[in-house]
Amino acid sequence: MPRWIFPLIIVLVLAVILEIYTFQALKTISKSKFLRYGFLLISVAAYVNFLLIMLNYSRSDGQTPKFQMAVGVLLTVLVPKLVILMILFGEDVYRLVLKAIATISNTDTQPLVGRRKFVSQVALGLAAIPFVSFIYGIVQGKYNYKVIKYQLSFKDLPAAFDGYTITQISDIHSGSFTNKKKIQYGVDLINEQKSDLMLFTGDIVNNKADEMDNWIDVFSKLEAKEGKYSILGNHDYGDYMDWEKPEDKIKNFQDVKDIHQKIGFDLLLDEHRYIEKDGQRIALLGVENWGKGFNQAGDLQKASAKIKKEDFKILMSHDPSHWQEKVKNDDFNYHLTLSGHTHGLQVGIEIPGFIKWSPSKYVYKQWAGLYEEFGRFINVNRGFGYHAFPGRVGIWPEITVIELKKG
């Protein structure tokens, strides 16, 4: 039996419960059968589309844009109804409590018809927020590129690098892309930053190297004054799909590594490069993917073997759990680490200076933005592309620009 059958049954049972509550909410506030059954028909269409996609899905295909869109439409239908369920179920519990009290005390309960209508209106109103947000996220939010700038000061930064700028991008996930014009706009926005150095922190594809075939011409136009460097992410190894033969996976992995050269990036595989300026230098290190609990291919000691402890060091490591578990406490002193991976789960709420929240925070201690401990920094880029869910809601695609200052 396919592994997805049991989760699918759970989803279907939940869907039935959600539809019952949503139908009742609509019935309470409106007598229009067209409204009630129209909503139901849209939901059934989303369920049937998702079911058909799953029945024809093969891990050897990877997460295609068609698969991702089916997931996105399903979530757009389900999440608002979860809001309705929580509110109306709470109302049902309240009514049951009142009825139990009345039965025990042998008193009459007051009619709650008017209250039920009001609660249904509130539930539907609140449910409209995620519904509209998810539609926006799928249509436009995933292209709502944001340039986020930081200025970081270090006492031991070589003076020649005072004012040196770095553009970081991460998580391209080219296998998800469908709109070349929008992606070209994002690439142009990266180039507008005119940084000294460009660093890409992994996940250039979802699974297969050929996902990048139609995008080589776009990403090869990325520019930086003094070089472009990159590392691998967890998706670049091809671990998330079934391969007919082991040698197919090996060839795909080599093809993925070759992409970096095709678009002008120097791929660092547990290696370092010295960046020199006016007779001074800083060390740039790049490790293979290292994630807590999975795919710990990265070897920090190997990458650091030929550099000195007193060197100013910038480390590229795709998964921020590497910094949390290994890097930040290492007395070799890695001044600045650049990561990606989390995408901020592509869904959350961010109002600069007031709130930054996403379910991703319950998985990763460092999940989006800049963090500092012991005078050492990590920036977790929210990602340029998108994966699984074909959109972004509140957590927008990011282009990071970091200016180094001697403090």
Only one residue has tokens 């300026």, namely 277
Are 10 and 131 part of one and the same domain?
yes
3-state SS, residue 280: strand
Q: Which of 85, 104, 139 is where one domain is finished?
A: 139
Are 342 and 202 part of one and the same domain?
yes
Taking CA atoms, 83 is separated from 22, 35, 135, in Å, by 10, 19, 16
- Which has more confidence, 61 or 356? 356
Binning the chain into helix, strand and coil, the percentages to the nearest 5 are: 45, 20, 35
Distance between CA 316 and CA 1 in Å, rounded? 41
Give the percent of the chain with pLDDT over 70.
97
- Retrieve residue 170's tokens: 């991460």
Alpha helices by DSSP H, listed for 228-310, are: 246-262, 300-304
Are 118 and 229 part of one and the same domain?
no
Chain centroid to CA 83: 23
Are 211 and 151 part of one and the same domain?
yes
pLDDT in tens, 349-400: 999 888 999 999 999 999 999 999 989 999 999 999 999 999 999 999 999 9
Task: List the beta bridge partners of residue 5.
Answer: none
Are 134 and 150 part of one and the same domain?
no
Residue range(s) defining the domain that contains residue 296: 145-406
Q: What are phi and psi of 136, to 5 degrees?
A: -60, -40
pLDDT in tens, 309-334: 999 999 999 999 999 999 999 999 99
- Answer yes or no: are the C-beta atoms of 194 and 83 closer than 8 Å: no
Taking CA atoms, 207 is separated from 168, 194, 217, 241, in Å, by 22, 31, 20, 7
- Answer yes or no: are the C-beta atoms of 11 and 51 closer than 8 Å: no
Cα end-to-end distance, the chain, whole Å: 61
Are 256 and 112 part of one and the same domain?
no
Q: What are phi and psi of 4, to 5 degrees?
A: -90, -5
pLDDT in tens, 31-54: 888 888 888 898 899 989 988 888
Are 196 and 232 part of one and the same domain?
yes
Q: What is the pTM of this model?
A: 0.91
Are 172 and 283 part of one and the same domain?
yes
- Answer yes or no: are the C-beta atoms of 367 and 344 closer than 8 Å: yes
| Mean pLDDT, rounded, for 54-81 | 88
- Retrieve residue 250's tokens: 């090996």
Are 130 and 270 part of one and the same domain?
no
Distance between CA 273 and CA 306 in Å, rounded? 10
Q: Which of 139, 162, 178 is where one domain is finished?
A: 139
Are 260 and 346 part of one and the same domain?
yes
Are 83 and 151 part of one and the same domain?
no
Query: Which of the listed ranges 48-52, 172-176, 243-247, 348-352 does the model predict with the highest average pLDDT?
Result: 172-176
* CATH assignment of the domain containing 287: 3.60.21.10
Are 163 and 178 part of one and the same domain?
yes
Q: Which of 87, 105, 139 is where one domain is finished?
A: 139
The structural domain count of the chain equals 2
pLDDT at 111: 57
